Amino acid sequence: TIEAIVAREILDSRGNPTVEVEIGLDDGTIARAAVPSGASTGAFEALELRDGDKDRYLGKGVAKAVDNIEERIFPELVGYDATDQRAVDQKMLDVDGTPDKSELGANAILGVSLAVAKAGANSSSLSLFRYLGGPNAHLLPVPMMNILNGGAHADSNVDIQEFMIAPIGAPDFREALRSGVEVYHALKGVLKKQGLSTGLGDEGGFAPNLPHNAAALDLIGEAVGIAGYELGKDIVLALDVAATEFFADGAYTFEGSAKSAEEMTSYYAKLVESYPIVSIEDPLAEEDWAGWTTMTAQLGDRIQIVGDDLFVTNPTRIARGIAERAANAVLVKVNQIGSLTETLDAVDLAHRAGFRTMMSHRSGETEDTTIADLAVAVGSGQIKTGAPARSERVAKYNQLLRIEEELGDAARYAGAGAFPRYRT
């Protein structure tokens, strides 16, 4: 049972404060978890509580969330069984009492929620993925590596936020990761040779200025070849457009002009014809439900269409997306909804409707690796956690290497099976 909870303000990968929580159980078990933070956040996400005190961390301190954990959450959870995750999370939701967790802060609730899960796993002497996923958790996800950053994660002129490579042809996760790393280094060489910047964006990918968005795909295609892989077979492509970021007053300002949802969709249709793209995330804005439904009808049998800002890992919004066929996959971010139980409920809902899920980091991350275990626990078959560079990104990939090793012969790599709709 829970005996002690300590919280503190630590730093994330962008040098902003975030919440870390430590939990002690009466059997001597201790566990620690840290909370991530987004930049291109969805309007419907649970509330990340920031102090707003301009004298500290430019207003971004999380001292209040830390206080809420120690003074308002801890007293309520003393004596709770750490393995009773659903009851623990429900208690915090009850104490908070708001639909968006604005009373205690989603960062406060999530920090405790994840630390409780880890304490439960430690106390049960199980790896976190086994503790959460049970004996059948054995599917290693395809690492969707974001090797070229644009949008809100870079200072460049590239509109699309993320250009990802998916090494679906590899036999296992370890080899998949290796091929991604080799392409990443080859891409650096390609950029250098063309006199383009090799500076990095927030998720560890390169962030050059480019004449247009498709130029990024050409550069990546070249890098894939140089690294000795076949584009469309060993390695396929995926995008996170994060279109909400450039949507205003009913129009998408993309490549220098105002476009409608229909025009954006025709652009994607052409892109999918020309490049082996298996997945597009947030192709349209978070409130453009009709546009999403049209796009899914048009392209959904060919590619994965992923709702991130659209769904914000929220079961209510996912249920609407299922009913309206607004997408065919859900991006899963623990801090968008703010508790582990609700995250697991969101994944269940998606999977039962035949929607795929992609486990995801945030652009602001820490050394916490919970999402790696979570991806295997729920069998999502896909994880995006940035470029294979920078420790806060690599920490998750490294954890997946450990999980694959622990599973041994039982491990299965999702590979091409993660994208059944994709046709070469």
Report the candidate in 161, 226, 164, 165 with the shortest Cα–Cα distance to residue 193.
226
Q: Is 391 part of any known ligand binding site?
A: no
CB of 195 to ligand PGA, least distance (A): 29
**Could you tell me the two tokens for 114?**
């994840």
Q: Is 380 part of any known ligand binding site?
A: no
392 interacts with ligand PGA by CB under 6 A: no
| # chain residues binding ligand PGA, by CB under 6 A | 11
Positive/negative CA dihedral, 317, 320, 324, 329: positive
- From residue 118, how far is each of 75, 78, 133, 214, 335 by CA, in Å? 20, 16, 13, 42, 16
Q: From the list 10, 11, 39, 126, which residue makes contact with ligand PGA (rule: CB under 6 A)?
A: 39
Q: Is 351 part of any known ligand binding site?
A: no
| Residue partners of 227: CB distance under 8 A and separation at least 6 | 179, 182, 183, 185, 186
β-partners of residue 2 are 25
**Can 203 be counted among the known catalytic residues?**
yes
Indicate which of ligand PGA, Zn ion, none lies near residue 288 (CB less than 5 to 8 Å, by partner kind).
Answer: none
Give the single-character DSSP code of 172.
S
Give the Cα separation of 18 and 38 in Å (integer).
Answer: 11
Q: From the list 17, 35, 38, 120, which residue makes contact with ligand PGA (rule: CB under 6 A)?
A: 38
Q: From the list 286, 308, 365, 392, which residue makes contact with Zn ion (rule: CB under 5 A)?
A: 308
Residue of 60, 118, 259, 333 marked catalytic: 333
CB of 80 to ligand PGA, least distance (A): 31
- From residue 421, how far is each of 171, 231, 299, 375 by CA, in Å? 20, 17, 10, 21
Give the single-character DSSP code of 381.
S
Q: Is 362 part of any known ligand binding site?
A: yes
Nearer to ligand PGA, 130 or 356 (CB): 356
Indicate which of Zn ion, ligand PGA, none lies near residue 319 (CB less than 5 to 8 Å, by partner kind).
Answer: none
Give the Cα separation of 165 and 277 in Å (integer).
Answer: 9
**Residue window 336-365: x/- pattern of binding to ligand PGA, with contact defined by CB under 6 A:** ------------------------x-xx--
Nearer to ligand PGA, 229 or 419 (CB): 419
DSSP sequence for 28-75: S-EEEEE--B-SS--TTSPP------TTSGGGT--HHHHHIIIIIIHH
Q: Is 281 part of any known ligand binding site?
A: yes
286 interacts with Zn ion by CB under 5 A: no
**Residue window 231-250: x/- pattern of binding to ligand PGA, with contact defined by CB under 6 A:** ---------x-x--------
41 interacts with ligand PGA by CB under 6 A: yes
CB of 38 to ligand PGA, least distance (A): 3
Question: Largest Cα–Cα distance in the chain?
Answer: 62
Binding residues among 110-169 for ligand PGA as defined by CB under 6 A: 161
Nearer to Zn ion, 167 or 307 (CB): 307
Rg (CA), the chain: 21
CB of 153 to Zn ion, least distance (A): 10
Binding site for ligand PGA (CB under 6 A): 38-41, 161, 240, 242, 308, 360, 362-363
Residues catalogued as catalytic: 203, 333
Binding site for Zn ion (CB under 5 A): 240, 281, 308
